[in-house]
Amino acid sequence: MKRALITGITGQDGSYLAEFLLEKGYEVHGIIRRASSFNTSRIDHLYTDPHEKDARLFLHYGDLADSSGLRRILGKAKPDEVYNLGAQSHVRVSFDQPEYTGDVVGTGTLRLLDAVRDYIDESGKEVRVYQAGSSEMFGAANPPQSEATEFYPRSPYAVGKVAGYWYCVNYREAYDMFVANGILFNHESPRRGETFVTRKITRALGRIKLGLQDKLFLGNLDAKRDWGFAGDYVEAMWLMLQQDKPDDYVVATGEAYSVREFLEEAFSIVGLDWEKYVEFDPRYLRPTEVDFLLGDPAKAEKMLNWKPKTSFKQLVTMMVEHDLELAQKEKTLVDAGHDIPPSMND
């Protein structure tokens, strides 16, 4: 049985990847952060009591800011594959917390690589590492962006990811480690954090449709993104670690839409005119914006035999339907006299 260790297992991608690897028969270890309230809602459905004989998902407290903890976890999990998905992943928040974001996203990657390097030396095992790189690294570079495009990061988050990318290349070349950088373009799902624009829109839309909310405040509607489905993208991560040689790959759909087009598509599904509900709030603008991300996934298609399965329309529909159902549950609570949390603002 292969063993995998996932940092960021409680996040959107971590939950889909854990599901995917468990289905493939892996024993999966995940690093979670201690929090004052539960933060495992995305993986609760996968968890069984570790005392059970057939348990294959194990969680460990740790943090990418804490190298001694990472080293201890590697010793316990004894992984064949390590997926580094942990990050302060919100671009606008990285302008509020630049130092922390750089530490976790950039130096955190270095801490993990160095811990894996020593673990390989001590154990004699081959350990393969996947690094969650981002299309944000391309930033202001002209679209379409491919593996050959030069990075031009536009936020502390993106600079941290560029550092992480180069630490990975360096460890691959210096120590002959199997490290693959995935350069993933935006990918979304019903499990997407509620402060990213797609989910912010579909969450608000559900509530608007059911009369629980009347306005949605957004920033720049002209930005274009290459949006895919997270469930499709975790397969590409895994495929990168199944190759004979480590390499770096762009993972994208090859189609881009603006935030305005996402709004139009989502609101049209429920027969509403988005312009009646959406208002501009400059709070959501970034000091430096990334205007246009459009990936060229030709290398991943050719070398990994990977293709996205979910179209833009299917993705938007999946998210809208999920969030309508969620809003319906909230409405039941409101009708019974309970309060629901206010809509997310970020």
Using CB under 6 A as the criterion, which residues of the chain lie in contact with ligand NAP when the complex forms? 7-8, 10-14, 31, 33, 35, 39, 63-65, 85-89, 104, 132, 134, 184, 186-187, 193
Q: How many whole angstroms separate alpha carbon 42 and alpha carbon 279? A: 31
User: Which residue in the list 26, 157, 249, 257 is annotated as catalytic?
Assistant: 157
* Nearest-angstrom CA–CA distance, 186 and 228: 6
Distance CA 314, CA 254 (A): 16
88 binds ligand G4F (CB under 6 A): no
Burial of 271 (0-12, 13-18, 19+ CB in 10 A): exposed
Q: Is 197 in the site for ligand G4F (CB under 6 A)?
A: yes
Say whether residue 94 binds ligand G4F (CB under 6 A). Answer: no
Judge whether 136 counts as a catalytic residue.
yes
Q: Which value, in Å, is the radius of gyration of the alpha carbons in the chain?
A: 20
What, of ligand NAP, ligand G4F, none, does residue 145 touch, CB below 5 to 8 Å by kind? none
Selecting among 19, 27, 81, 136, the annotated active-site residue is: 136
User: Which range of residues in 84-92, 205-213, 295-303, 313-321 is near ligand G4F by CB under 6 A?
Assistant: 84-92
Q: Is the CB of residue 27 less than 8 Å from the CB of residue 50?
A: no
Closest separation between CB of residue 18 and ligand NAP, Å? 11
**Cβ nearer to ligand NAP, comparing 13 with 296:** 13
User: Interface mask (CB under 6 A) for ligand G4F, residues 115-154, using x and -?
Assistant: -------------------xxx------------------
* From the list ligand G4F, ligand NAP, none, partner contacted by residue 225 (C-beta under 5 to 8 A by kind): ligand G4F
How far is it, in rounded angstroms, from Cα 83 to Cα 73? 14
In the list ligand G4F, ligand NAP, none, the entry touching 299 (Cβ below 5 to 8 angstroms by class) is: none
Of the pair 157, 171, the CB lying nearest ligand NAP is at 157
Tokens representing 343? Answer: 């809509």
For residues 217 and 282, what is the distance between their CA atoms, to the nearest angstrom?
Answer: 9
- Are residues 121 and 178 in contact, defined by beta-carbon separation less than 8 angstroms? no
Q: CB of residue 5 vs ligand NAP: minimum separation in angstroms?
A: 12
For ligand NAP, give the closer residue by CB, 10 or 213.
Answer: 10
Query: How many angstroms separate the CA atoms of 151 and 156, rounded?
Result: 13
Relative orientation angle of helices 156-175 and 108-123, to the nearest 10 degrees: 20
Which residues, listed in sequence order, are joined to residue 83 by a DSSP beta bridge? Answer: 6, 130
Q: How far is the CB of 27 from ligand NAP (least distance, A)?
A: 19
Which of the ranges 34-42, 116-124, 283-291, 335-343 carries the binding residues for ligand G4F, by CB under 6 A? Answer: 283-291
Should residue 293 be labelled a site residue for ligand G4F when binding is judged by CB under 6 A? yes
Q: Which stretch binds ligand G4F (CB under 6 A): 86-94, 270-278, 313-321, 323-331?
A: 86-94
258 has catalytic annotation: no
Select the binding partner of residue 264 from ligand NAP, ligand G4F, none (C-beta < 5 to 8 A, by kind): none
Partner from ligand NAP, ligand G4F, none binding residue 88, C-beta < 5-8 Å depending on class: ligand NAP
User: Residues 166, 179: contact at Cβ < 8 Å?
Assistant: no
Tokens 């979910």 correspond to 310
Closest distance of CB 185 from ligand G4F, Å: 6
Residues that bind ligand G4F (CB under 6 A): 89, 91-92, 134-136, 185-186, 195-197, 200, 218-220, 223, 225, 259, 284, 286, 289, 293, 346
Residues designated catalytic: 134, 136, 157
